[in-house]
Structure 1
Amino acid sequence: MNASEAKIEWLFINLGWFFLVAVMSVIGLDVIIRDSAFPSTVLALLIFGGVANIIAVVSLLQNSSGKLLQRLMLLNDIALTLGFIAGSSKIQSQLLFVSLIPITVAAMRISWFVSILLTSAVVGSYWLIAWSEIGFLSVNAPEFIYTTLPQLINGLILVIAGSAVSYIGTRIKQSLLIERKQQEKEAQLALQSAQKKIKLIFELASTLSATLNYELILEAALDVSDASLREFFNKGDDISQIGMILLYGMDQTLYIAASQGLPDADIVLRFPAQEGAMADAVASVEPIIINHPYDDPELKYSMGINGCQQAIIIPLRAGFDSYGFLMLASPEEDIYSDEFVELLVAVSNQAVLALQNASLYQSLMDDKDRLVTIEEDARKHLARNLHDGPTQIIAAIAMRLNYIRLLIKKDPDEAVKELAEVEDMARMTTKDIRQMLFILRPLILESQGLVAAVEQLRQKLSETNNIEIHMEADSVVDKLLTKEAKGSIFYIIEEAINNVKKHAKAQNIWIRIYPQGLNVITEVKDDGVGFDVSEWENNYAGRGNMGLMNLQERAELAKGQTAVRSTLGEGTTIIVTIPAVHKEHTA
């Protein structure tokens, strides 16, 4: 039973109680005036009616009030009415009009025709009871008419009143039915609207889950927003709007990343979001609906917006991260309702999740590409070192041995000297190869940690280079770094030292590794010739020093950052910051 039906049933039950109270009041007053006893028949009928009403109340509270019980309650009211009239001598006229209550109930429960029949039955019963008391067979016609005239008038008045009450009851019933149908219609429309929302959100989720390309995601979000408006209002092609997705650029201004229905001249616009509707959306983090967006201090520069009467701005946020806005604008007024705004918020949330997934996927792909590039660079580096170092020396050793073979017969003493030099060359080559093998796979890094591995690297490089390498490291850093981060720092230090050897013309290198706050800091400093950092940064495409780029990429793989400080003639400092694993160790 719905709320409207329950209201009607409570009305009927209250009328039943009112009916019993009215009868008891009329008869009670008559008993007091006449100083007589309360009629036992009427008292029994009142008790019976009260019990019947209690049963109706319990049934309604248990939501089990069916059609059968309703019909029984109506018959009960009719029987009580006739019983009260028959059991109350000399006050039938007063009780007669109390019968309007069940007549009204009959009109509202069944129909106007049934209530008229009930009125006729009550009036007929009243006349029969009254005439039987007069003895209509024992008096002549004139006397009978004179004696029964009051009963006739009362009966006719009841017929008229009953007809009017029946009509009013029927109209009340019709009003309640119309209200019920209206509520059902509204509920149906709300259900259809919810189904449309679910359908559109499902379609958006399906579309967005099918791609990890952020450009396609933005286009899909605009497509669904446009389709949502058309389907939501069932207007098909009769409705038009423009849409755009604004994202924050490197300069923290908003640029148009994707659009629909926007003039080409608007694509290059940038919005600082410092005033107007977009500034309000940034401050409130809530959807903003604006009328006459062409008056907005920032949007007025858009040619597409100039023809629109209403616009809506939806922030694209995930947690505390703000990506930008989804904006729709239409030449029609008051088109964006609260329900449609809720739908757009759901669309925006799905789009943000897809953007996050696409960003994560792109980041993983970039990391993969960087790994491939680093491995390729490492192979090239190894090949170049083998070619420039051991390969050249081994070729020289082969030539010297051939020369020594000729000297043995001519000048044995000189041959012995040449053999000693060849031995030195072979020993040096062995050290170079061992150093290369150590750098390729430093087993000590896994067994003893980063500090021990860097110290061994320092010793090996000191044996084969004239550069003095100084090291200062806090052993606690081994507890603060993951295995991958330790490997990244080791190769960053090795690459930085190689850069110094090739370009810096330095006499000293200082290596420092220490915890700071929630990070581990690695510094590699030299006293070489230095370089102009700004010129190096501005000439990204034509950089000749790929070693610094490799340092940055390796740091990014460990979720770290790289800073380069250098001045011509004053050396270079490379600072690498990598997040620590356990925050409690970084205090």
Structure 2
Amino acid sequence: MISIDLIQNLAKHIPQLSKSFIDFDPGWLVSGMPFLLWIGDRFRRENANSSMQYSSEADAKVQNQRLRDEVERLRSLLLMIANLNSTLNYERVLEMTLDLAHNALEDTGDSRLVSALMLFSKDDLFIASARGLPQADLRVTLPGSSGILGESLGNVQTHITHDIRNDPELRRFVSLHQCAVAITLPLVVGLEIYGLLLFGHPEGEYFSQDRVEILEAVAQQSMIAMQNAKLYRDLEQEKERIAEIQEEARHKLARDLHDGPTQSISAIAMRVNFARRLVQRDPNQAGEELFKIEELARRTTKEIRQMLFTLRPLILESEGLVAALRQLSEKMEENHEQKVVIETKDDVADDLEMGKQGVVFFIVEESVNNARKHAKASHIWVRLRRKGDLLYLEVEDDGAGFDVESVQSNYEQRGSLGMVNLHERTELVNGIIKIVSKPGRGTKICVTIPVTMEAAEDLHRHGFAG
């Protein structure tokens, strides 16, 4: 570890060092620890060398100047680390990682060093950032399953090869044909492998132990910065997605108000005006008209209550998901004469978080409305069962059905957001959705919802479980 005594001892001889540490916010030191460990080791070696007795004053001056130059270079690297850790732009982090690696190596003026940062996209590695590679190499994608890449990713360790031309994957890089040595460093956080760093150089002995340690520190440092930037990017994307869902909810509410209560209230106003003119001319007919107005007002009240229920059913918070589903069934029967059969046990979702219960309810509500409006189903079945830490939801109807593959391939272009809402709400509960349907044979929507984080990880590792 880097000791305060070491820093203070070296600071007595190298005044610039104290200024270097004063310039930095202590908060970034935690995330910069991998690189600082390497710097601390370098300081120990330099401090040991500086304590030697020199044969002449000239030798001492040369050594002191070398120490000053080394401290200044390390201070420059500290600045780069601080900038890397403070950058939340993911693409910028990738570029800065290679800049840091090139500057950390002693021969900063050596332009023969080639490098690439490769990340996984599905099952293949692609070049996310590079230095010294021609355009043809930038388009190369590799499986990372054989040669030095396969070894490095397989045992999650740094590997060096002097046989680049015979490597089954590295030989595809034209720029590496001029290199005598190549080194790969895996980029790993926990059990997740993001990709690797690749460096090559014409000198066979270029990657000394010291330089390997530098690059390993850079790899660790870059993974911390990449993970922070990725989390920030995912958060921004999630905020945008939530904003889109809220905007669509507002649009849906506006459409429902326009097509339902607004039309009904307009009709009530017209009928009241008509009844007012009938009062003196034909009281009996005016009474019949008032009766029709009353029926229309009652129907409008039901529509508004149904809308309020679907927006936020109070019974969901007071009695839970199963009670809310049963009330949804009753309201569908009362307002639309739609048969919705609920098949579940009372305690099936008792330990499910209230937020997740709300999402599951809206998945059911969306599916039931789609079946009623578009499939013209006579019957709709909602089944909810529990197996271990997984909750299984099925919404089945005997309606018209549709071609799932055709709809899913272009639903975004068609502007129909029913399918989008189902998929996005399933993602909110870390679930997996599967839709089975054929024209004329009804539709079945199956959603698997994990109750715990461990179940979520296992579910996404093995795929749909129904």
Normalised by the length of structure 2, the TM-score is 0.78
CA distance in 2, matches of 1:342, 1:196: 20
Contact 1:255 1:271 in 2 (8 A): yes
Establish whether residue 245 from structure 1 lines up as the match of residue 121 from structure 2. no
2:280 is aligned with 1:404: no
Aligned residue among 203, 211, 217 for 2:87: 211
* Equivalences, count: 398
Q: Using the alignment, how far apart are the partners of 1:397 and 1:390 within structure 2?
A: 10
What corresponds to 2:464 in structure 1?
none
Query: Judging changes above 3 Å, is the alpha-carbon distance between structure 1 residues 208 and 520 closer, same or farther for their aligned structure 2 residues?
Result: farther
Supply the distance in 1 between the matched residues of 2:75 and 2:158 (Cα, whole angstroms): 22
Taking the aligned partners of 2:378 and 2:347, their CA distance within structure 1 comes to 29
* Unpaired runs of at least 5, structure 2: 1-51, 55-59, 456-466
Deviations 1:27-77 (A, max 9, x none): xxxxxxxxxxxxxxxxxxxxxxxxxxxxxxxxxxxxxxxxxxxxxxxxxxx
> Distance in 2 between the 1:271 and 1:444 partners?
54
Give the aligned partner of residue 39 of structure 2: none
RMSD: 2.9
In the alignment, the residues of structure 1 paired with residue 112 and residue 398 of structure 2 have an alpha-carbon distance, to the nearest angstrom, of 67
Paired position in structure 1 for 2:290: 419
- Alignment equivalent of 2:253, drawn from 371, 377, 382: 382
Conservation of the 8 A alpha-carbon contact between 1:530 and 1:569 = yes
Q: Does 1:289 align with 2:160?
A: yes
Identical pairs, percent: 41
- Counterpart CA distance in 1 for 2:454 and 2:202 is 55
1:99-147 Cα distance to aligned partner (Å, 9 max, x none): xxxxxxxxxxxxxxxxxxxxxxxxxxxxxxxxxxxxxxxxxxxxxxxxx
1:83-109 CA-partner distances (Å, limit 9, x unpaired): xxxxxxxxxxxxxxxxxxxxxxxxxxx
Post-superposition Cα deviations, 1:458-494, rounded to whole Å, max 9, x if no partner, equal: 2112211132101123333433311211111122222
- Measure, in 2, the Cα distance between the counterparts of 1:375 and 1:457: 22
Q: CA deviation at 1:337?
A: 1.4
User: Aligned pair 1:580/2:451, yes or no?
Assistant: yes
User: Secondary structure of the residue that 2:340 maps to in structure 1?
Assistant: strand
The residue that corresponds to 1:434 in the other structure is 305
Choose from 207, 212, 219 the match for 1:336.
207
Out of 206, 230, 241, the position equivalent to 1:370 is 241
Flag the 1:494–1:541 CA change in 2: closer, same or farther, 3 A.
closer
Distance in 1 between the 2:124 and 2:334 partners? 54
What residue is the counterpart of 1:264 in the other structure? 135
> Distance between the aligned counterparts of 2:169 and 2:342, measured in 1?
56
Distance 1:449 1:535, change over 3 A: same
Say which of 416, 424, 435 aligns to 1:553: 424
Distance in 1, Cα, partners of 2:109 & 2:402? 63
Question: Counterpart of 1:430 in 2: which secondary structure?
Answer: helix
Match of 1:521 among 383, 387, 392: 392
Structure 1, gaps ≥5 residues long: 1-179
CA 1:366–1:563 in structure 2 vs 1: closer, same or farther (change >3 Å)?
Answer: farther
- Assess if the C-alpha contact under 8 Å between 1:533 and 1:567 holds in 2: yes
Measured after TM superposition, the shift of residue 440 of structure 1 is 2.0
Larger C-alpha radius of gyration, 1 or 2?
1
Superposed CA offset, 1:199-220 (max 9, x none): 5774453122221121111111
d(CA) in 2 for partners of 1:222, 1:577: 42
The two structures have a TM-score, normalised by structure 1, of 0.63
Cα offset for 1:572? Answer: 1.8
The verdict on how the C-alpha distance between 1:554 and 1:197 changes in structure 2, with shifts beyond 3 A counting, is farther
> 3-state SS of the aligned residue for 1:504?
coil
1:425 CA displacement: 1.2
CA-to-aligned-CA distance 1:157-199 (integer Å, 9 cap, x gap): xxxxxxxxxxxxxxxxxxxxxxx769xx9x99xx999979975
In the alignment, is the contact (CA less than 8 A) between 2:320 and 2:350 conserved in 1? no
